[in-house]
Chain A
Amino acid sequence: DGGITQSPKYLFRKEGQNVTLSCEQNLNHDAMYWYRQDPGQGLRLIYYSQIVNDFQKGDIAEGYSVSREKKESFPLTVTSAQKNPTAFYLCASSISGTRTEKLFFGSGTQLSVL
Chain B
Amino acid sequence: GQQLNQSPQSMFIQEGEDVSMNCTSSSIFNTWLWYKQDPGEGPVLLIALYKAGELTSNGRLTAQFGITRKDSFLNISASIPSDVGIYFCAGHSSNDYKLSFGAGTTVTVRA
Contacts and interface: CB of A to CB of B under 8 A. Distances in A.
Contacts, number: 60
Chain B binding surface SS class: strand
A106 B33 contact: no
Chain A binding surface SS class: loop
A45 B97 contact: no
Interface stretch (A13-21, A36-44, A64-72, A74-82): A36-44
Interface residues of B, number: 27
A103 B97 contact: no
Given A42-B103, A58-B98, A100 B40 contact: no
A103 B44 CA distance: 9
Interface residues of A, number: 26
Given A45-B1, A102-B45, A106-B42, A40 B92 contact: no
